[in-house]
Structure 1
């Protein structure tokens, strides 16, 4: 049995620190037996046994084999002056970000080969590399790519021409646009990453030759830029391009790649992290995570301290202060202020790419300094987010994983047009579920994830079986089916942080007492073939509060997030958000099928009882994940406030002359909406529209005689922006939105001069952003009659 909890160890450490400051005598703390470094067993040494993870890999394999390489290669050949062999795919592959999918696809094929041994996966990857080498040779510059560029006159051409402009100092950089191409260096990074994965996992050295030639091309591009110009370029999303150049250095030891890798450093984002400052709010989340992965890889090659500090601080900050209960982060793709998750529970939460990259970063950090807390996070995000991001019935991938009550997940429809970034990371994530289960370091074997698998451990000539139905059942058993080098060595089983002292360990069926060591039960003994070691972790329900808001809670069972089941996605959710009411909430839960993580909650949910199920499995159903917690008196007050808000809404509706539902096709047609550089949006269950700098949107609205009020609805916590509102080309207001406003929808009223509407039955309402700003999003516009003035 385990006799010390991690909390006890932390308390002891804190007490020791206090005694040290006071000068009191100290007992020497026990020295950790964990190694200073660790690495995962090769993916090719791990085979998954039947489980949801194994199913995800097989579903993904079918999807990968249905994709047509020649269609993904269309632009690579076309812009190299070669005749395409397949029709270009649609969606993002027909936009200026074209080509990013091929990089993801190369990585996914290489990973799939390593995970399953599928020879066809490498055959496809090798074919693609041959085609890329041919296109690269035809160009003769070292460049190879499919990205496109939209010129000022609207024509779409080969994206390579932007790099010619950049070399000359003509740099027009935005967050996602660089000289008319959509995140071009992000696309370049994905191609580099794919080539490097094919070399490593398929043994294709031609892939490295293509990567080196491509690296030489960008060496010349970057050499033409001074430091200010380089920072201008890096203001546009560049993925983990620094990681690719660092990896090229690691494999070739050519220092020119190291110099480039270290120069790809975004001071605006990375300097505060080096200084351990959280300035992440309003940064696009997935633009940043790969930068830290690249910095982590550089630290492994150079040993420079600042390259270690920033990734570790970033990881701690994101996981503790910016992450949702499922392990994902960001709302509408952006970080919010720390500990404000409760204000950002929307249908636009948790982009899959972010978590894909956070797990990669976690692996780097664990490799430097093994600690069970790192894999507590990894397990949470892997189970609850990554596994939710693939629909095993359709092989589709989600972009966002919405956590707003009643939201439905939207999955790609595998076919012609769904090639989002998260489709690409989905291809990779579900090709490698065995990659982080087993690790080794200084002769120690780590078991970090409890996923059914078989593995070969070369260091001991061992064949292992990890048998478990975790997280549905509490026991996981590791068996040494073969052990060519028996002897004394340690095996470290992760003790999840939530398990504490209730976890137990047994060797060959007999209890084995251990003292936790940085989140592990370390069993060191003479091992022989046939030996088993098992860990049993309790799977009790618990309540977990949201960072920054103890009144917003979720329900956990072991590592698994449970969700209230609100029905099929085909039926709209029109009810009120359920809340939890009472002082002992878990007393209302009872198992319906504990071996499948299914419970009923009775008497503690308002407005009615709910069934709770594993969140990740709600592929085609609506869920409630977060709940506001109330005492009975608080709930009565909440009900009263809700009824008052309804009464006000009914009063406004009764006085309405016209209502415009922005972002919805038929209302926008009915009101003759026209726009430029304007887009429909959906946020927190409401449709809307915005206009970017240089654009506008306008539409007709009915009016009637008498004093009228124009009302527009905004989100109160928007990032800073300014715009004008015109009625029949007369400015009636300038609106400023700011992030420090309340995190709720806000109705702003503008009284219309009667002279502006006199004698008219309709007016033209227009929203125009100020320069370098945006207008809205506006989540609906209403014109209603003003109440008569009250006289006394």
Structure 2
């Protein structure tokens, strides 16, 4: 394995052109560092002014504007109690109802711990009382807000699916279980919220509710044999194994441990135990919580398999499946390893994925402290998590798009949304102080350079971390009070991209830097008033994507920079900017380096750009990834672009009718009808798909003579089959399966003239085969065939 620190410059973060993306490699070298660590309690850390502190305060205001009784609506309704508030809309009015309340409980508990806000716990305690009342009314131990859609289309209490499952009546898909949307995922969120309230608000009733709910599901799973259990676990179940593992940790009752270990998806987890990357085409966020649960189990059992899989998964995702901002997945799914450059779209980087990856990173660090882990954590925390909240509106992103010119879309807190990423967002921005300081015996780790004050109980210390990092290079740790002075170690993380450029000083006097697993370790006699400062170089550098040296991004220290393409209110219709030249960094000039602002000259095509911190582009359009060209390569690229434009103009000139799928007015104009069909947007193109049992159909104009129907597809689709019908007659069966990876492509279907003779229009239908889907189809065009020569 590549040694993280032996390569020094460039290897740890893929800084040099020619290395395939960010690598976060563990160091196998002997070390003086302890083998275990734990974070200082969140309640011991208070943030000082910074963008992170602002995010916490904005989020606190948002949490206090939410109405608990509205989130409790279904919990009371389905327990036979009168609701006290109108149900929220969006996902909270769908069959996944209730997931937000679990996140909300966690966010309130975390906010109390991070800020000391007593009202946050008062709200959480009120919700727990309401849940206890609903649970008692039901009398089974179950409490929940789930809904299920019955076969006749009516909506009912989701609890009724569990007796069916116990009888062996299991209808399980990726996200649907007996007509309810990821019900065990939602149950996990409620468990997690209750456990957080018990831990951070000291509410033992929350644990009582969780234990009764756990008893209910213990009975459900006890009725299933192993094959049935695997069938149920084929539907997303979040980190339910983690919840039961934590209940065992707190109670010592081994029934919860047995249950936690039984919640094990063999299809996904066995290959990871065997160190096999079979993640391609798996839904990303469905998998990460499973590994968090395994990690928690390893901490309780010491079993090797439970250690191997989470660590291998983390290494695989961060090295081969992650974007420059630390997020992963395109359209929520992993692609093949080292294919990031083929998946730079408006559907990248679901926030929930990174929320969970940071949790997993914390577990791995606790087992074996290594700076590589927090090189990744810092990358994702700064560039992805911080960008996922709009500090002006308190809204959250679902995806964080990396396709050039795509604006971020944030939830509107005053309207209905409540996506999964709203839930993980309200948690993420309640706890920005949770991973700054770690401890192990007489060693204090400083992992993140975020301005903060903290109480280190082991030494009776009041400490201050003073910094304007990552905008300025110096961070200073000061012991304001030290009740137990004496000899101990302070370990300051040296970021991998800093190489051998970090400088260290104790009480203003330089000291040598000898990296140890990514840390500068100062072991000495400390007293009150002592300080230690670390200075890290913040030079610009270029980082290539894993697997493609010609697709690059620009960073300053840990911070991803973006070309500013203007306000989100104005559409972006220009060509994606590219970088041209042999010395690209020479084309950057600092405008205000202490704010991460740069201008460029001569290296960007089609025109110069200003570069700014990516995360700060809340309401602006950005370019993050750039294709890199030499001057001759760029001239060839221009020629190919002009040829493609000429082909498009020829088709346009022969067009009879064009159907822009996924757009409201064109679909109305063409009388589109559908069932189980949804509009999609991908890589700047709108489209539509239909799921098994559904269809979509629309009219298109025709004219006499030979005609061709052309449909546009994305070339890296997962396997699917569907029929294309014209006035009820099958024109073709289309199979999609990564036909042309990384690009859109057109398929032409000549229309028999018998299907159009004497007609002014025809009805086109896309019909998926059983257990398959149709499309997505990114536009349909009818045009005349070119006359034979």
Q: Is the 8 A contact 2:661 2:780 kept in 1?
A: yes
The 4+ residue runs of structure 1 with deviation greater than 4 A are 8-12
Q: Is the 8 A contact 2:29 2:517 kept in 1?
A: no
Map of 2:782 onto structure 1: 783
Map of 2:749 onto structure 1: 750
Map of 1:146 onto structure 2: 145
Q: Is the 8 A contact 2:188 2:238 kept in 1?
A: yes
Q: Deviations over 1:202-252 (max 9, x none)?
A: 000000000000000000000000000000000000000000000000000
Map of 2:616 onto structure 1: 617
Map of 1:674 onto structure 2: 673
**For the residues of structure 2 that align with 1:11 and 1:59, how far apart are their CA atoms?**
36
Q: Is the 8 A contact 1:465 1:481 kept in 2?
A: yes
Map of 1:22 onto structure 2: none
- Secondary structure at the aligned position of 1:718 is classed as coil
Map of 2:237 onto structure 1: 238
Map of 1:403 onto structure 2: 402
The CA deviation at 1:335 is 0.3
Map of 1:431 onto structure 2: 430
The CA deviation at 1:732 is 1.0
The CA deviation at 1:170 is 0.3
Map of 2:64 onto structure 1: 65
Q: Deviations over 1:559-589 (max 9, x none)?
A: 0000000000110000000000001000000
**For the residues of structure 2 that align with 1:464 and 1:50, how far apart are their CA atoms?**
16
**For the residues of structure 1 that align with 2:675 and 2:698, how far apart are their CA atoms?**
12
**For the residues of structure 2 that align with 1:509 and 1:647, how far apart are their CA atoms?**
66
**For the residues of structure 2 that align with 1:7 and 1:745, how far apart are their CA atoms?**
42
Map of 2:641 onto structure 1: 642
Map of 1:253 onto structure 2: 252
1:70/1:383 CA distance change after superposition, 3 Å: same
1:630/1:450 CA distance change after superposition, 3 Å: same
Q: How does 1:540-689 map to 2 (within 5 A)?
A: 540-689=539-688
**For the residues of structure 1 that align with 2:417 and 2:467, how far apart are their CA atoms?**
35
Q: Deviations over 1:111-149 (max 9, x none)?
A: 000000000000000000000000000000000000001
Q: Deviations over 1:739-771 (max 9, x none)?
A: 252211101100011111111111001100111
Map of 1:500 onto structure 2: 499
Map of 2:533 onto structure 1: 534
Q: How does 1:335-414 map to 2 (within 5 A)?
A: 335-414=334-413
Q: Deviations over 1:597-619 (max 9, x none)?
A: 00001100000100000000000
Moved more, 109-118 or 408-417: 408-417
Map of 2:700 onto structure 1: 701
Q: Is the 8 A contact 1:353 1:421 kept in 2?
A: yes
**For the residues of structure 2 that align with 1:333 and 1:218, how far apart are their CA atoms?**
28
The CA deviation at 1:30 is 7.3
Map of 1:53 onto structure 2: 52
Q: Deviations over 1:252-292 (max 9, x none)?
A: 00000000000000000000000000000000000000000
**For the residues of structure 2 that align with 1:11 and 1:504, how far apart are their CA atoms?**
18
- Secondary structure at the aligned position of 1:698 is classed as strand
**For the residues of structure 2 that align with 1:39 and 1:740, how far apart are their CA atoms?**
48
Map of 1:168 onto structure 2: 167
1:343/1:362 CA distance change after superposition, 3 Å: same
Map of 1:24 onto structure 2: none
Q: Does 1:448 align with 2:447?
A: yes
Map of 1:725 onto structure 2: 724
Q: TM-score, normalised by structure 1?
A: 0.97
The CA deviation at 1:442 is 2.6
Map of 2:25 onto structure 1: none
The CA deviation at 1:730 is 1.0
Q: Deviations over 1:621-649 (max 9, x none)?
A: 00000000000000000000000000000
Map of 2:38 onto structure 1: 39
The CA deviation at 1:514 is 2.5
- Secondary structure at the aligned position of 2:206 is classed as helix
Q: Is the 8 A contact 1:5 1:516 kept in 2?
A: no
Q: Deviations over 1:387-441 (max 9, x none)?
A: 0000000000000000000000000000241100000000000000000000001
- Secondary structure at the aligned position of 1:152 is classed as coil
**For the residues of structure 1 that align with 2:766 and 2:386, how far apart are their CA atoms?**
41
1:379/1:9 CA distance change after superposition, 3 Å: closer
**For the residues of structure 2 that align with 1:346 and 1:93, how far apart are their CA atoms?**
28
Map of 1:229 onto structure 2: 228
Q: TM-score, normalised by structure 2?
A: 0.97
Q: How does 1:467-546 map to 2 (within 5 A)?
A: 467-546=466-545
Q: Is the 8 A contact 1:436 1:448 kept in 2?
A: yes
Q: Is the 8 A contact 2:10 2:497 kept in 1?
A: no
**For the residues of structure 1 that align with 2:331 and 2:78, how far apart are their CA atoms?**
34
Q: Is the 8 A contact 1:326 1:385 kept in 2?
A: yes
Q: How does 1:173-188 map to 2 (within 5 A)?
A: 173-188=172-187
**For the residues of structure 1 that align with 2:641 and 2:574, how far apart are their CA atoms?**
13
Q: Deviations over 1:50-84 (max 9, x none)?
A: 00000000000000000000000000000000000
- Secondary structure at the aligned position of 1:257 is classed as helix
**For the residues of structure 1 that align with 2:133 and 2:62, how far apart are their CA atoms?**
27
- For structure 1, the 5+ residue unaligned runs are 13-28
Q: Does 1:417 align with 2:421?
A: no
Q: Deviations over 1:167-223 (max 9, x none)?
A: 100000000000000000000000000000000000000000000000000000000
The CA deviation at 1:9 is 7.4
The CA deviation at 1:90 is 0.5
- For structure 2, the 5+ residue unaligned runs are 12-27
Q: Deviations over 1:484-512 (max 9, x none)?
A: 01111110000000001111000001101
- Secondary structure at the aligned position of 1:382 is classed as helix
- Secondary structure at the aligned position of 2:505 is classed as strand
- Secondary structure at the aligned position of 2:731 is classed as strand
The CA deviation at 1:6 is 1.6
Q: Deviations over 1:72-102 (max 9, x none)?
A: 0000000000000101000111000000000
**For the residues of structure 2 that align with 1:560 and 1:110, how far apart are their CA atoms?**
30
Q: Is the 8 A contact 1:5 1:501 kept in 2?
A: no
- Secondary structure at the aligned position of 1:6 is classed as coil
The CA deviation at 1:31 is 3.6
**For the residues of structure 1 that align with 2:288 and 2:324, how far apart are their CA atoms?**
19
Map of 1:83 onto structure 2: 82
Map of 1:21 onto structure 2: none
Map of 2:308 onto structure 1: 309
Map of 2:15 onto structure 1: none
